[in-house]
Amino acid sequence: MSKIHDAVVELRRAPGVRGAAVLTNDGLMAASSLDDALGADVVAGLSSYLLMTANKSLGEGGMGTCTQLTVHATHGKAVLLDLTDSFLVVLFDQFADIAGAQKQVQDAASSIRRASRLA
């Protein structure tokens, strides 16, 4: 579990990242490193809601599930990445270059997947 936490903390250090968290599909927080202004419960609840809603509508349409969901909002950005039984949420500020941070996000996701298999 500490390796998952370490991966999240490492990801948080990337430029423009306001917070990162690993959540179970039903919204339970497994590890997080979030900006003080972000409530862990709020992030968990909303991320789970967004991913579950997207997956439900994709599933009903026979389109499978989503592997990544990216939201660009006026004051921030978010990436939700599927990790099979859980998912990684990364919150960015509005000026962050998500494409530039994609490698760090994918590296963190790989570390978390490896750590989950070993646990």
Partner 1 sequence: MHLIQRMKIWKELRRLEQRAREQPSPSTFVDLGQVYINLDLHDKAERIAEDGLALFPKAPELRQLLDCARRGLRGKQAAELRAKLTRAPNAATYRELAQLQIELGDQAALHTTCQEWGLRFPDDPGCWLVLGQARLVGFYRDLAAREGQEAVRCLQRAVAMAPGDAQARRLLGEVLYRIGAVHGAMEHLQKLQELDPQDAELQALLAHVQGLADRGDDIDGLLEDVEAHGSLAHPSLAAVPKPQGDEAMARVRDGLAHVADLAGVRKATFIRGSKALVKGSIRDGRDPFLRVVRVVAKAAHRFAKRLDIGSANKTVVDGAFGHVCICVYGEALAAVQCDEGTDLTQVMAELQEIVAGALHAAEGSGT
Closest-CA residue to 49 (of 41, 61, 59, 37) = 41
Q: Least distance to partner 1 from the beta carbon of 91, Å?
A: 8
d(CA 18, CA 98): 12
Residue of 24, 70, 104, 111 that binds partner 1 (CB under 8 A): 70
Is the Cβ–Cβ distance between 89 and 43 less than 8 Å?
yes
Site stretch for partner 1 (CB under 8 A), options 22-30, 64-72, 100-108, 110-118: 64-72
Any contact of residue 110 with partner 1 (CB under 8 A)?
A: no
Contact track, partner 1, 28-47, x by CB under 8 A: ----------x---xx--xx
Per the document, the length of the chain is 119
d(CA 99, CA 68): 13
Any contact of residue 63 with partner 1 (CB under 8 A)?
A: yes
d(CA 103, CA 52): 25
Any contact of residue 20 with partner 1 (CB under 8 A)?
A: no
Any contact of residue 75 with partner 1 (CB under 8 A)?
A: yes
Within 8 A by CB and 6+ apart from 114, the residues are: 3
Contact set with partner 1 (CB under 8 A): 38, 42-43, 46-47, 49-50, 53-54, 56-58, 60-78, 91, 94-95
